[in-house]
Amino acid sequence: MNATPLAIRCRDIVKTYDTGGQVVTALNGVNLDINMGELMMLVGPSGCGKTTLISIIAGILDQTSGDCELFGENLLTLRSKDKLRFRAENIGFVFQAYNLLPALNAAENVSVPLIINGVKRGEAERRAAQMLEKVGLGERTMSLPAQLSGGQQQRVAIARALIHSPRLIVCDEPTSALDHESGQNVMNLLKAVALDQQRVLVIVTHDARIFNFADRIAEMDDGHIVNVAHSAAELK
């Protein structure tokens, strides 16, 4: 019997897009459970629906039908304001292209989620500097994104995703723009700093070099989850 509490529960998720009269089905009845403290990877070919699924899980895209509960909350039924607050408090994002604000320095970038959550700027930047220390960038708090390497920028992005202690961290291709060593470092960092029993990580990736970091790997194809494996060796 599995006593680990359920973090994410997706049932019969369908998502269709209307592209100028033509209906495209991105997700076609996806079922997925993810436990607290788990690092789940979503893998599969381009266009299989991975990004659509994490967008729905993270509450930044509404499904066409089906239920998706995040920490027991059905985001689809929340009022827009409550959904925003839920997202601001509970979700951290790490993007493939880092998506740091180019005009802000590292500490300011990391402080953004705290500021959105109403923390005063000075306090937010102080805590951001501490978080940057944790990810090994204590000396680069004043650096602009353009002055940092790809790996450093991704570490800033991870610090930003963690600063407000969210319960879900969603990562979209966090290592695909990095070399092997930087990619491994980023994953080590994510696993060491981000993952604990109060948190869940969902990572969308094509990068087979990092599959071994996953607790489980959900393999997707054509809008379905076709296989859930516990290691890369079990993938189809």
Sites of contact with another protein (CB under 8 A):
51, 54-55, 58, 60-61, 81, 84-85, 87-89, 91, 93, 95-97, 99, 101-104, 108, 112-113, 115-117, 121, 172-173
Structure tokens at 145: 């994104």
Q: Which of 112, 195 has the CB closer to another protein?
A: 112
**CB 108 to another protein: min, Å:** 7
Q: Which of 34/42 has CB closer to another protein?
A: 42
Q: Provide the H-helix boundaries in 93-201.
A: 106-116, 121-134, 150-162, 180-189
Nearer of residues 93 and 213 to another protein, judged by Cβ: 93
Report, in Å, the least distance between residue 224 CB and another protein: 20
Question: CA 122 from chain center: how many Å?
Answer: 27
Tell me the three-class secondary structure of 21-67, residue by residue. CEEEEEEEEEEEEEECCCEEEEECCCCCCHHHHHHHHCCCCCCCEEE
The rounded distance, in Å, linking the Cα atoms of 73 and 159 is 26
Least distance from C-beta 128 to another protein, angstroms? 13
Rounded to a whole number of angstroms, the minimum distance from the CB of residue 3 to another protein is: 31
124 versus 210: smaller Cβ distance to another protein? 124
Strands 168-172 and 224-229: unpaired
- Supply the minimum distance, in Å, between the C-beta of residue 231 and another protein: 26
| Sheet with 65-70, side-by-side order of all strands | 22-35, 6-19, 65-70, 73-74
Of residues 5 and 102, the one with the C-beta less far from another protein: 102
Tokens of 146: 């353009």
